[in-house]
Amino acid sequence: MALSLTKSAAFPIGQSQEESQKLLDQTTAALHAMEALKSEPLDLSAIEDVSGILRSAGSGQLLTVRELCRVRRTLGAARAVSEKLAAVAEGGSLKRYTPLLEILQNCNFQKELEKKIGFCIDCNLSTVLDRASEELELIRAERKRNMGNLDSLLKEVSVNVFQAGGIDRPLITKRRSRMCVGVRASHKYLLPDGVVLNVSSSGATYFMEPKEAVELNNMEVKLSNSEKAEEMAILSLLTSEIAESEAEIKYLLDKLLEVDLAFAKAAYAQWMNGVCPIFSSTESEVLISNGADNAWSVDIEGIQHPLLLGSSLRNFTDFIASSSGDPSITEEKSGAMAAVKSSKGVSSFPVPIDIKVQCGTRVVVISGPNTGGKTASMKTLGLASLMSKAGMYLPAKKQPRLPWFDLVLADIGDSQSLERSLSTFSGHISRICEILEIASKESLVLIDEIGSGTDPLEGVALSTSILQYLKTRVNLAVVTTHYADLSRLKGKDSQYENAALEFSLETLQPTYQILWGSIGNSNALTIANSIGFDKKIIERAKKWVDSLKPEKQQERKVVLYQSLMEERSRLEAQFRRAESLHADIMGLYHEGEQSRELASNLDATNSAAIAYGPLIQTSKNTVDLLGMRVEEAAHHLDMAISARGSNSVLFIVHGMGTGVVKEQALEILRNHPRVAKYEQENPMNYGCTVAYIK
């Protein structure tokens, strides 16, 4: 249930700090419960989503036996979950499990309804039990007695016909919903006043109802109809009771989903060795006004990008399992991350970063080179905020602290749109405009490369104005930029903070570490050189930089860097378009292949359907298993299937009896490689199954 919810992007997120704290408390309680139930984990797999069944019952549709059993199983599983959680709480500290117990405290587990369905229906056999009602029990008892009399009579008649030479062996079958015996057409006189119900395809055999069996058959038809009507009445009664309890059962399902989500988040926390975040309050601002040091609004140490970490953990688990041959090796540790920390030689994990923002800071400007981790760091903060709101633990050290944000608003990536005639800059500004309209005092705003895609001077001016507006409008805004002028805002206003991503000039690689309070150097010429730019262009650019006045160097670096990046972007855009065209071509090719395959399959299906022809039973395409033992019947049926030609049919006569021979025959048909499909008996062909041979 929780999996389908998350896949449909309906994962619940707290709409207030109190709601988010409640979700975190539920995750913590689920972790305690998982530890206590380690030897016998809580099983939520038996709980099904029966909301569709409830809607059907509420709209007046009659539920089937299987649907009623699904409701009963879900109610029983829900009750078992509640009882198990209550037992764990009684055996430990009740306070630790209170957040989980509170979820289910007002639920009606419909014990009487569960008990009633179990009393009326055998869910293993999917049948209505005799005890479901006195009327049904009487009808079935009378039908059993009547069928016994009818069977005895027909056996006697069929033996007499056989002894008189009227048939090769005694044959009792069902035609037109009435029991009858087989008689050669030439010996029809053996059953004077008998009723011919059907004739074999060859015309050689009549299926006749003896005069003495007419009343018994009439009674069988009457009792059969009465039994079906009584079963329908019982199903209708159970359906109406479910319809009356629809709202309570839906409420129960919603609460069970909350429990399922709490345990899913707890399992995720264990897997990545996460820690519970704390929502920072306005008390920290009081501390800073009194001169206290290290009063942080955001204090997250050693956090790793959750999505990148998840991918790395899966790869790591596969690596360890393949290396050791034991897929459960990481289970010996407290979560997969614990195994990572104790391992060596695996270095593909995201670099942990520290995110620290002092109280009173409203805008953080992150500068530094491309590919240095600016955007990934900003995304990590956004994900941490959303995960905390949803009651999820964070992959960090110690205990992370951050504000509760009502909205996380982001403009990350290229927002250009050919359909809306928007350039990169227009798309960027349109997105920011939407953010400014809905942002509040409790919002977190994330903007990647603010003011880019236009003239640098105008971009700086517009970006500065936007940041000054955000400073008074939101809780926290984090932006990335290559504009050095934005980093100078901190010197004029303490509500701004700078941060830079470290870049190693020795290795020409980013270290992905955030340097708080620092201004990043874009290292445009160094990066251009490392990606293989023309050496002569690089040398001329260096001479130009050396000839510039010191106060203009930074501005010229920005212009040059953007020029290089735009050229790179143009080439990358051409590459992406080539990839897109290639993908379109391959897509058209695959569509053509699929169309040809579909047409081929359709032709084959039509051919197969025509090849079988009309279903006419003859002695050549019939195998008679009546009176045989199971082993003997299995042997005869296998020989008959092997002897049939391609695209033919085979009639298997197994009769009624105890049903043992019939079940063995159906088992062979299900598993035989030459059987394409089979059709079981019907009122017109009772005691006979038709198999279609490949």
**Does the pLDDT value for residue 73 go beyond 90?**
yes
**Does the pLDDT value for residue 332 go beyond 50?**
no
Query: Which single residue is written with the structure tokens 């708080």?
Result: 516
- State pLDDT tens for residues 240-264: 999 999 999 999 999 999 999 999 9
Q: Does one domain contain both 157 and 265?
A: no
Q: Does one domain contain both 74 and 142?
A: no
Q: CA 173 from chain center: how many Å? A: 49
For residue 534, is it within any domain?
Answer: no
Lowest-confidence pick of 352-356, 524-528, 653-657: 524-528
Q: Does one domain contain both 549 and 472?
A: no
- Residue 417's pLDDT is 47
Q: Does one domain contain both 159 and 139?
A: yes
Q: In whole angstroms, what is the distance from residue 534 CA to residue 54 CA?
A: 70
Q: Does one domain contain both 384 and 489?
A: yes
Q: In whole angstroms, what is the distance from residue 392 CA to residue 264 CA?
A: 10
Q: In the predicted model, what is the mean pLDDT of the chain?
A: 83
Mean pLDDT of 492-520: 80
Q: Does one domain contain both 213 and 289?
A: no
- State pLDDT tens for residues 19-47: 999 999 999 999 999 998 887 888 888 89
For residue 529, is it within any domain?
Answer: no
- Residue 354's pLDDT is 92
- State pLDDT tens for residues 444-460: 999 998 888 777 888 88
Distance (Å) of CA 334 to CA 32, 93, 273, 304: 13, 22, 7, 18
Q: CA 25 from chain center: how many Å? A: 25
Domain end (from 495, 522, 549): 522
Q: Does one domain contain both 320 and 405?
A: yes
- State pLDDT tens for residues 645-657: 888 888 888 876 6
Q: Does one domain contain both 353 and 409?
A: yes
For residue 127, is it within any domain?
Answer: no
Residue pair 524/557 in contact by the 8 Å Cβ criterion: yes
The upper half-sphere exposure of residue 610, i.e. CA atoms within 13 Å in the direction of its Cβ, equals 6
Q: Does one domain contain both 405 and 420?
A: yes
Domain end (from 202, 236, 271): 271
Mean pLDDT of 610-622: 70
For residue 528, is it within any domain?
Answer: no
**Phi, psi dihedral angles at 596 (to 5 degrees):** -65, -40
Q: Identify which of 220-234, 350-364, 406-420, 529-543 has the greatest average pLDDT.
A: 220-234
For residue 146, is it within any domain?
Answer: yes
Q: CA 440 from chain center: how many Å? A: 34
- Residue 505's pLDDT is 66
For the chain, what is the domain count? 5
Task: Tell me the CATH number at 200.
Answer: 1.10.1420.10
Beta bridge partners of 122: 127
Task: Tell me the CATH number at 674.
Answer: 3.30.1370.110
Q: Does one domain contain both 361 and 486?
A: yes
Domain end (from 522, 550, 581): 522
**Does the pLDDT value for residue 499 go beyond 70?**
yes
- Residue 534's pLDDT is 83
How is the chain split among helix, strand and coil, in percent rounded to 5? 55, 15, 30
- Residue 344's pLDDT is 46
**Does the pLDDT value for residue 523 go beyond 80?**
no
Nearest to 252 by CA among 76, 81, 108, 111: 108
Q: Does one domain contain both 315 and 391?
A: yes
Range of the domain at 674: 622-693
| Global pTM value | 0.66
Residue 528 gets the label, from left (phi > 0), alpha (psi -120 to 50) or beta, of: alpha
For residue 428, is it within any domain?
Answer: yes
Lowest-confidence pick of 309-318, 489-498, 605-614, 630-639: 605-614
Nearest to 95 by CA among 29, 159, 40: 29
For residue 386, is it within any domain?
Answer: yes
For residue 604, is it within any domain?
Answer: yes
Lowest-confidence pick of 77-86, 198-207, 359-368, 418-427: 418-427
Q: Does one domain contain both 266 and 287?
A: no
- State pLDDT tens for residues 380-394: 999 999 999 999 999
